[in-house]
Structure 1
Amino acid sequence: MATDLPLVFSITSGKGGVGKTNISVNLAYSLAQAGKRVLLLDADLGLANVDVILGLMPELNLFHLFHEDAKVTDIICDTPYGFKVLPASSGVSEMLALTTAQKLDLLEAMDGLEDSVDYMIVDTGAGINDNVVYFNLAAQERIVVLTPEPTSLTDAYALIKVMKLDHGIEHFKVVVNMVPDLASAKEVFTRLHRACDHFLSGVSLDLIGFLPKDPGVRKAVREQKPFCLVEPKGLACSAMKGLARTVQGWDIASNLDGNIKFFWKKLLFRS
Structure 2
Amino acid sequence: MANPIQDQAEGLRRLLVQDSNLHAATVISGSVGAGKTIAVINLATALVRSGKKVLIVDENASASNLGGTLGLSAHRDLLDVIRRDMAFDKVLIQHYDGFSILPAGRGMRVLNKLNPDDQAHLVDSFGSLTPPVDVILVDAAPGHASKLLSLVFPCHEIAVLVSSQPASITAAYALIKHISGNGGSQRFRVLVNKVNEATEAKKIFDNMARVASRYLSVSLDFIGFIPPDDKLRQSIRRGRAVIDLFPASESAVAFGRAAESLFNWTSEDANNGGMRGFMQSLTRLAGDQPSHSDQHARQSSATIQETRSDHV
TM-score per shorter chain, which class? 0.7 to 0.9
Which position in structure 2 is the counterpart of 1:176?
192
Query: Which runs of no fewer than 5 residues in structure 2 stay unpaired?
Result: 1-18, 282-312
What are the equivalent positions in structure 2 for 1:32-43 lying under 5 Å apart? 32-43=48-59
- Please tell me whether the aligned partners of residues 154 and 185 of structure 2 are also in contact (alpha carbons under 8 angstroms): no
- Relative to the length of structure 2, the TM-score reads 0.74
Distance 1:255 1:4, change over 3 A: closer
Task: Tell me the distance in 2 between the aligned counterparts of 1:18 and 1:229.
Answer: 21
Which position in structure 2 is the counterpart of 1:147?
163
Higher helix share: 2
What are the equivalent positions in structure 2 for 1:1-271 lying under 5 Å apart? 4-45=20-61, 49-67=65-83, 69-89=85-105, 96=109, 98-101=111-114, 104=119, 106-113=122-129, 116-129=132-145, 131-137=147-153, 140-201=156-217, 203-250=218-265, 251=267, 252-256=269-273, 261-264=277-280
Task: Tell me the distance in 2 between the aligned counterparts of 1:143 and 1:72.
Answer: 26
What SS class does the counterpart of residue 170 from structure 2 fall into? helix
- Computing the radius of gyration from Cα coordinates, the structure with the larger value is 2
- Please tell me whether the aligned partners of residues 8 and 141 of structure 1 are also in contact (alpha carbons under 8 angstroms): yes
Task: Tell me the distance in 1 between the aligned counterparts of 2:220 and 2:130.
Answer: 28
Which position in structure 1 is the counterpart of 2:284?
none
- Please tell me whether the aligned partners of residues 126 and 132 of structure 1 are also in contact (alpha carbons under 8 angstroms): no
Please state how far the C-alpha of 1:67 moved relative to its aligned partner. 4.5
- Relative to the length of structure 1, the TM-score reads 0.84
What SS class does the counterpart of residue 187 from structure 1 fall into? helix
Please state how far the C-alpha of 1:46 moved relative to its aligned partner. 5.5
Please state how far the C-alpha of 1:253 moved relative to its aligned partner. 4.0
Task: Tell me the distance in 2 between the aligned counterparts of 1:48 and 1:106.
Answer: 26
Please state how far the C-alpha of 1:100 moved relative to its aligned partner. 4.2
- Please tell me whether the aligned partners of residues 97 and 130 of structure 1 are also in contact (alpha carbons under 8 angstroms): no
Which is further off, 46-55 or 169-178? 46-55
Residue identity in the other structure for 2:259: A
Please state how far the C-alpha of 1:183 moved relative to its aligned partner. 0.5
Task: Tell me the distance in 1 between the aligned counterparts of 2:150 and 2:93.
Answer: 23
Please state how far the C-alpha of 1:120 moved relative to its aligned partner. 0.8
- Please tell me whether the aligned partners of residues 24 and 156 of structure 2 are also in contact (alpha carbons under 8 angstroms): yes
Task: Tell me the distance in 2 between the aligned counterparts of 1:107 and 1:130.
Answer: 21
Please state how far the C-alpha of 1:66 moved relative to its aligned partner. 3.6
Please state how far the C-alpha of 1:4 moved relative to its aligned partner. 5.0
Distance 1:142 1:209, change over 3 A: same
Query: Which runs of no fewer than 5 residues in structure 1 stay unpaired?
Result: 266-271
Residue identity in the other structure for 2:26: S
Matched residues, number: 257
Higher strand share: 1
Which position in structure 2 is the counterpart of 1:268?
none
